[in-house]
Amino acid sequence: MERINFDHAATTPLHPAVIDVMVASMRDVYGNPSSVHAAGREAKLALNQARDRIAARLGCKPQELIFTSGGSESDNTALYGVAMAAWLKSGKQVKPHLVTTQIEHHAVLHACERLERLGFEVTYVAPDEFGQVQADDIVAALQPNTCLVSVMYGNNEVGTLQPIEQIGARVRERGVLMHTDAVQALGLVPLHLASLPIDFASFSAHKINGPKGVGLLYARTGAAWDPYLYGGNQERKRRAGTENVAGIVGFAEAVELATSDAESAAKIELLGQIRHTLWTELCAQLGAHVVLNGHPEQGLPHILNVSFSGVPTESLLMNLDMEGILAASGSACTSGSLEVSHVLQAMRLDHERARTAVRFSFGLGNTIEQAQFAAHQIATIVTRVRTRR
């Protein structure tokens, strides 16, 4: 049975070219980049070359990029780092306020909850029914003690893109720092960090056919923040810990592949076609029993979230798994649990729609034929489960 992986928003397989550069790096570059001898210098060179390559692709200065262990650490560092710096700057007199949204990944939401437990204030702005947050609502939430606004670039459950340029510009006018979790957007929307009105951005290698456990925090020069991890002098004293050299080298290769113009345009076009094929086939075969969750036009090309009325999410996912079709109920952290997604709840979808939602997400190796085949399999399962009830 051919396995069809429609769960690329959870993680992606390594690109063959990434494997090649990582294997070569693991074999040939064994030094610690902090060592001053020849092996250390080789590792340092590999690290700096990787940083330079990524900076060129993302449109920022190499020194504005800090390697981390992934998107979660980058999110935590931005939120905690800015909040701490603002609190210390006030002489520990004012506990700062942060603004974020109800649809963020748990890496942001749970970090905010921790900040609240530490006495910081957080406002969670609600999205509309399409999962989009409005700039006016973000601005209305600002307070004199707001130190940071964090709004994700594209949502990982329903794919909805947020008006980041608009929000960032309004937030900047008010002199407040801006962070965006761009983990799902990298390689799928054009990103030129220096031209965006944002100060911090989070990225993760394993969402773009790179290795797991490697990420990036972009921190604009001059934006005040405190490190999250203390120890050695790595990353210009902004993130302690011996660098994952092979992972970082693989990340740079993945960024280059994901953002190189020709490949990127063709990839986005294909992902859009796969998404469109699955959706139109499902509509044709199941009619009124399917409904799209998320924004009909302003969405990431690789995510399709659909509710199948009368068929509980776990039941469909289990049946799909038996047919070799991998899909998810939302973010990787909530999949496997029976909890209704916080994103769908925030969109105020009715209970039936929220408890029957499935996320299909596409990437390397997927084809239009797979979408056609999967649509047929899904329709068969849905009809079977619905008639059995």
Ligand X SMILES: Cc1ncc(COP(=O)(O)O)c(C=O)c1O
**29/196 with CB nearer ligand X:** 196
**156/244 with CB nearer ligand X:** 156
What number of helices (H) and strands (E) belong to the chain?
A: 13, 12
Residues that bind ligand X in the complex, under the rule CB under 6 A = 70-72, 75, 105, 107, 152, 156, 181, 183-184, 204, 206, 215, 331-332
Nearest to 148 by CA among 64, 202, 101, 78: 78
Least distance (Å) between residue 76 CB and ligand X: 9
Least distance (Å) between residue 255 CB and ligand X: 14
The CB-side HSE value for 20 (13 A sphere, CA atoms) comes to: 5
**79/107 with CB nearer ligand X:** 107
Q: How far apart are CA 133 and CA 162, in angstroms?
A: 6
Least distance (Å) between residue 154 CB and ligand X: 8
Cα of 171 vs its chain's centroid, Å: 21
Q: How far apart are CA 305 and CA 326, in angstroms?
A: 14
Least distance (Å) between residue 310 CB and ligand X: 29
Least distance (Å) between residue 153 CB and ligand X: 8
Q: How far apart are CA 388 and CA 368, in angstroms?
A: 30
**178/382 with CB nearer ligand X:** 178
Q: How far apart are CA 361 and CA 6, in angstroms?
A: 5
Contact (CB, 8 A) for 161 and 128: no
Nearest to 334 by CA among 161, 106, 4, 32: 106
Shortest-Cβ-distance residue relative to ligand X: 71
For residue 56, CA distances in Å to 1, 61, 206, 239 come to: 42, 8, 20, 21
**305/319 with CB nearer ligand X:** 305
Q: Which amino acid is at 218?
A: Y
Active site residues: 333
